[in-house]
Structure 1
């Protein structure tokens, strides 16, 4: 029997993708606002005299979901998401030296080697700049640290070039290049938004609704 996606002319979604019904539940639960507010007071850098609004990159949070105590968030994500992982000796299975990524944005198989770290980057599915504009500016710092280091919901190891192309764009302006991963991405985005009570714009909601219609 043909799947709903193939009937509609779409390839089947990637493994681990939510169903249409699950996405519709999230779409009904998420807050919606007219448009993304202006970005004011956002300073990610942590050098002297910089605001460091989400804390130093990848330093983690003691209560960030999914963390491996003693490891930074980047290595935590790599260790959980890569296959055939090789850890640096003497780091208690913390520092990832090599592995293979099945990229959740392009579908490509990428060989990761720590000597070329930019090939695989860690993406915030719900971008930090967008979160700041959408309400995180009002959060206390510990909550911003949890959000920025949430391995379960908001962090993904992805193709580096694709991550740089995405930047801080949200679903109305960016979806994964590989269509089979749209349902997966929509689920991650909406799960993060609802868990942290972050809104989506009307345009984002429309884009994610169109994605849901392609899911079985």
Structure 2
């Protein structure tokens, strides 16, 4: 995110500067809707001031923990299900937990090796493409606990990512120009974008799809930035 609170989200890079390797990204990283459809959807998105009151930093309080995955023995969690989906050649143990695999991170283009362990599991994390705080402030604050927990465990919302990139992304919104959990202001751009320029358009379109799926809102500046960015993507 930009550290300058007056800087708008930049358009996709169209220069000949080298970009990270984007081959082999997980299939789930692709946007479920086209850039054109994302642009049309974004133009129709309702706007509202983000409702941050009542949000607690503890994710489990409002959104619950990882649910058990019925697809993985009923004992492994949704985290394992997403790792199994997004990693290449995943290896599972007797409890259907993912213990190893290879991975190309959509956010950085970095090729990685996953190994389950106390000191290694966090190197690849599971990101909510539209962060739970953003989703809460954009409409889930007045929904039921069950709806919030469904959101937090929805495979459409989740994507494996490099741990460092996920931490930098934080809530996905550049809050007060510094990231973190300090609350939105109308004058504070911008929407976080992955360093991997080759993935930025898909990321923005996927973000629109998720907000539309859950009938969430955008702030006025967020909507303007989204439309401007996707317009640039559509011309490529």
TM-score interval for Structure 1 and Structure 2 normalised by the shorter chain: 0.7 to 0.9
What runs of 5+ residues in structure 1 fail to find an aligned partner?
Answer: none
Is this contact kept in 1: 2:90–2:100, CA < 8 A?
yes
Does 2:58 match 1:45?
Answer: yes
2:206 corresponds, among 177, 182, 188, to: 188
Pairwise CA RMSD:
2.8
The 3 A distance-change label for structure 1 pair 113 and 164 is same
- Post-superposition shift, 1:110? 1.2
Does 2:49 match 1:31?
Answer: no
Counterpart in 1 of 2:173? 170
Is this contact kept in 2: 1:60–1:145, CA < 8 A?
no
- TM-score, structure 1 normalization: 0.79
Whole-angstrom distance in 1 between the partners of 2:57 and 2:148? 12
What runs of 5+ residues in structure 2 fail to find an aligned partner?
Answer: 1-11, 175-189
- TM-score, structure 2 normalization: 0.73
The 3 A distance-change label for structure 1 pair 108 and 187 is same
Does 2:163 match 1:160?
Answer: yes
Whole-angstrom distance in 2 between the partners of 1:190 and 1:59? 25
Counterpart in 2 of 1:135? 139
Is this contact kept in 1: 2:43–2:223, CA < 8 A?
no
- Runs of 4+ residues deviating >6 angstroms: none
Kindly report which structure 2 residues correspond to 1:1-216, keeping only aligned pairs within 5 A, or say none: 8-9=14-15, 16-17=30-31, 19-33=34-48, 35-37=49-51, 39-43=52-56, 45=58, 52-55=61-64, 57-60=65-68, 68=72, 70=74, 71-88=76-93, 90-91=94-95, 94-115=96-117, 116-151=120-155, 153-170=156-173, 172-212=190-230, 213-215=232-234, 216=236
Whole-angstrom distance in 2 between the partners of 1:29 and 1:61? 34
User: What SS does the corresponding residue of 1:32 show, helix, strand or coil?
Assistant: coil
